[in-house]
Structure 1
């Protein structure tokens, strides 16, 4: 074989290897993450961090993260620093990033900005939306089934959370006689307000609580465990906090969305605007069921979830509202 032919052969061979690789796109060289609190909270922030590490592993990318980035000034400074590092894909791990990302996007045309549960309006901005209504519905059914007092409570962060209305409708579908009390903290992580709301619920003899706020749900569940009451976990499978306390969990796999976004970005297929994800995407699931729940009801719930995945219909025959 001549040296010239050998050189051409090796060039073609190496190009072929490069083209077959699934994780070395030049478009994912550096990725940045911003979280409003910490990556070590064991719930929402940790899921974002795990998603970032998965991108690092899959694409051999350089990754960066910044904690406690929660106001416009700190976000602007963080984005500037990421731009200096030549980061091209930035995740803002929450709804608070979408507005400022829209504003900044024109100044950083080589970046793609990704946030959660917001409204992405610019060409290089994307918001990932969890369709939380169905998971809330299944959580509500479970809560109403297991309640001994027929009194169920919700401690939610904000009224716009679709899982809250889903939970309400699920409770009423399972047992229309159940009394339901819904409280709002207007903050994702204010434990003091959450504890105040919990005290009020317990005074009304509520025995199952859905703490739908990722910054205080663990603390609320621990309080419920002390009192021998029940909880529906939120964001993560929280059965490890107490199998006799956590009846099931409404799980959002934010870390999986990072992989979906990375793949689309690498293939130049990441759409701008608001993208929705649900059970059928593997982005949402129900957590482990507590052994205190009879197996026949557990089996029934699993069948309902599978039917929803296959048909888009909830047990009441309706489609998910959001």
Structure 2
């Protein structure tokens, strides 16, 4: 009788163990209209999720959006199929994520680089001023003419954060460098972006950091024509100007995806508006491009200025 009891307990233990090991987390990603193959955040998030699939037991699936009108349908597909974490990309998906979250309150949604104020949505946002700070440090270290510039799209709070961070980074390296800040006035005015870039070059500016949406193509075209250097926020831009972009300041998707998925997997997940910054290792340089144009000594210097910021020795101020 005692033997049978022990055997039963062993079998029960094995069944419980099998049940736990067979559990898996279902993770889905819906692209924005850039689609997969954009060499930007759709691709980077998919790659990061695939890397997590190698580390823990996941079931992953993806849906590509060709039109913004497909967002809600694609998100709802995963909600109806009871996926645990459903990811969307960028502010253009905010409305679709909000509607899906309201329709499926039992599901959990994650929006990357956007904000949705629903109880079942985690919004991942980023400290733009800190990305700008890194760009400013790079620009100051690399400028030959001691004249650099920031070009933004519309002059709003988000763009002003990039500007403040950029100005702080430049001045931290060299307070004598000339800084010019310009705004296109639109996210898609190609001609105005090109005109502003030409004017800046006439002022001896040799490095431009930009955040101008589709208008950025005007900046890139003129930089190629005049052979000046750029710092971007999008890896995809490197293909457009491989000999002009020093590097791109990228969101550290692999680290952030791991952070979120592990939190869910370990029951530490909280739906909230979470803002990532340098402290959270949220920004990285596009490594291959940086190594192509920036010396190893200066790459070390960039890390040193980052450390000074982390230690509170450098503070980003809104007016510089």
**1:77 aligns to 2:73 (yes or no):** yes
Alignment correspondent of 2:253:
254
Question: Structure 2: how far apart are the matches of 1:307 and 1:172?
Answer: 13
Q: 1:6 aligns to what SS in structure 2?
A: helix
The answer (yes or no) to whether the contact 1:152–1:206 under 8 Å persists in 2 is yes
The answer (yes or no) to whether the contact 1:155–1:185 under 8 Å persists in 2 is no
Alignment correspondent of 2:58:
60
Question: Structure 2: how far apart are the matches of 1:192 and 1:36?
Answer: 24
**1:41 aligns to 2:42 (yes or no):** no
The answer (yes or no) to whether the contact 2:75–2:97 under 8 Å persists in 1 is no
How far off is 1:180 after superposition?
A: 0.9
How far off is 1:222 after superposition?
A: 7.2
Question: Structure 2: how far apart are the matches of 1:95 and 1:85?
Answer: 24
How far off is 1:93 after superposition?
A: 0.7
Alignment correspondent of 1:272:
271
Q: 1:110 to 1:191 in 2, by over 3 A?
A: farther
How far off is 1:240 after superposition?
A: 8.5
Moved more, 138-147 or 283-292: 283-292
How many residues align? The count is 310
How far off is 1:116 after superposition?
A: 2.9
Alignment correspondent of 1:207:
206
The answer (yes or no) to whether the contact 1:244–1:290 under 8 Å persists in 2 is no
Q: 1:29 aligns to what SS in structure 2?
A: strand
Q: 1:17 to 1:195 in 2, by over 3 A?
A: farther
Question: Structure 2: how far apart are the matches of 1:105 and 1:306?
Answer: 39
Aligned positions of 1:11-22 closer than 5 A: 11-16=12-17, 19=20
Question: Structure 1: how far apart are the matches of 2:234 and 2:129?
Answer: 13
Q: 1:61 aligns to what SS in structure 2?
A: strand
Q: 1:34 to 1:301 in 2, by over 3 A?
A: closer
Alignment correspondent of 1:300:
301
- Give unpaired runs (5+ residues) of structure 2: none
Question: Structure 2: how far apart are the matches of 1:7 and 1:223?
Answer: 76
Q: 2:149 aligns to what SS in structure 1?
A: strand
Aligned positions of 1:1-322 closer than 5 A: 2=3, 5-16=6-17, 19=20, 25-26=23-24, 28-57=25-54, 58-70=56-68, 73-157=69-153, 159=156, 160-161=158-159, 162-173=161-172, 174-184=174-184, 186-187=186-187, 194-195=193-194, 197-212=196-211, 224-225=223-224, 227-236=226-235, 245-288=244-287, 289=290, 296-309=297-310, 311=311, 313=312, 317-318=314-315
Q: 1:210 to 1:165 in 2, by over 3 A?
A: same
- Give unpaired runs (5+ residues) of structure 1: none
How far off is 1:137 after superposition?
A: 1.2
Q: 1:264 aligns to what SS in structure 2?
A: helix
Alignment RMSD: 3.6
Larger fraction in helix? 2
- CA deviations on 1:63-93 (whole Å, 9 max, x unpaired) are 12222353xx433222332233333322111
Instruction: Tell me the TM-score normalized by structure 1.
Output: 0.77
The answer (yes or no) to whether the contact 1:33–1:66 under 8 Å persists in 2 is yes
